[in-house]
Structure 1
Amino acid sequence: MIDWVAFTRARNELGAGFVRILGYFREDGVKSVAAIEAAMRAQNAAALIIPAHTLKGEARQFGAEPLGALAERIEVVARDCVEGHDTPDEAISEVAALRGLFERTLSILEAEGDPVVQRRQGFGRRIG
């Protein structure tokens, strides 16, 4: 579910700001998922593109590849529908799966990103 190499790289690069940025991912992700669901209900392919693109990039920043791939599929279908002047019916199953995957992914990321968990994992290890 998570590419731990990418996750660790993000945590190391973001340093002390990691928890804050992960919080932004939560906030942005909740908004993106809601916007994608609303756009699908409205059959508005154009309105799917930006929130799907945003979610894709932010998910991949934290190594959440399945979530990023699902958001990318929604974005690609939406772009194709805009070009073809069609409704985004093809993305219904992806949009239906999105909220659950986002919530599961976020739960894992937040558990692993918790500074208390990081300290506990290092406790008792010998240095040297």
Structure 2
Amino acid sequence: MAIDSSSLVDWTAFQQARSELGAGFVRILGYFREDGVKSVAAIEEAMRCGNAAAIVLPAHTLKGESRQFGAEPLATLAEAIEQIGRQCVETRDRPDEALPHVVKLRPTFEATLTMLEREANPLVPRRGGFGRKVG
């Protein structure tokens, strides 16, 4: 599945998070990685089991953490899964409607995480270079 990596991260929001989090930024990005891996696995497992209730919390967590780093497409995907899960809990249905979103979740998460970590790495040259406007 091809992912348009150019639109995975809102770099303005990313830079704002980096400024606000300061020295804790890299550590918190590490938590995003750990939590995200667990959330994606939990969502996939819940989907395999047809357990709508088990989808809601990891999707909610992934949504919030993604938005913190400007990963809006990932957050939107997690939000759709969360909403379907909540609706299915209320109607006591299986979350089958979430399947197309869940299929996209892991590759979107991995591609997004790769971009975030690459940008956060102090050894990687920044876009624009010295003396040029980053944008």
Query: Hey, which bits of structure 1, 4+ residues long, moved more than 4 A?
Result: none
Query: For 1:32 and 1:115, how far apart are their aligned partners in 2?
Result: 27
Correspondent of 2:33 among 26, 30, 36: 26
Report the structure, 1 or 2, having the larger helix content. Answer: 1
Q: Name the aligned partner's letter for residue 30 of structure 2.
A: G
Aligned residue pairs: how many? 124
**Whose Rg is larger?**
1
Q: Hey, what does 2:92 align to over in structure 1?
A: 85
Q: Name the aligned partner's letter for residue 88 of structure 1.
A: P
The answer as to 2:105 corresponding to 1:106 is no
Query: For 2:130 and 2:80, how far apart are their aligned partners in 1?
Result: 44
The aligned runs of 1:36-47 (5 Å cut-off) are: 36-47=43-54
Q: Name the aligned partner's letter for residue 58 of structure 2.
A: P
Cα deviation, residue 124, structure 1: 4.4
Q: Hey, what does 2:42 align to over in structure 1?
A: 35
Q: Deviation digits for residues 69-105 of structure 1, max 9, x if unmatched?
A: 0000000000000001100000001001100000000
The normalised TM-score by structure 1 is: 0.92
The answer as to 2:4 corresponding to 1:5 is no
Q: Identity over aligned residues, as a percent?
A: 66
Q: Hey, what does 1:67 align to over in structure 2?
A: 74
Cα deviation, residue 123, structure 1: 6.9
Cα deviation, residue 17, structure 1: 1.0
Q: Name the aligned partner's letter for residue 111 of structure 1.
A: R
Query: For 1:44 and 1:124, how far apart are their aligned partners in 2?
Result: 51
Unmatched 5+ stretches in structure 2: 1-7
Query: For 1:61 and 1:89, how far apart are their aligned partners in 2?
Result: 28
Q: Hey, what does 1:50 align to over in structure 2?
A: 57
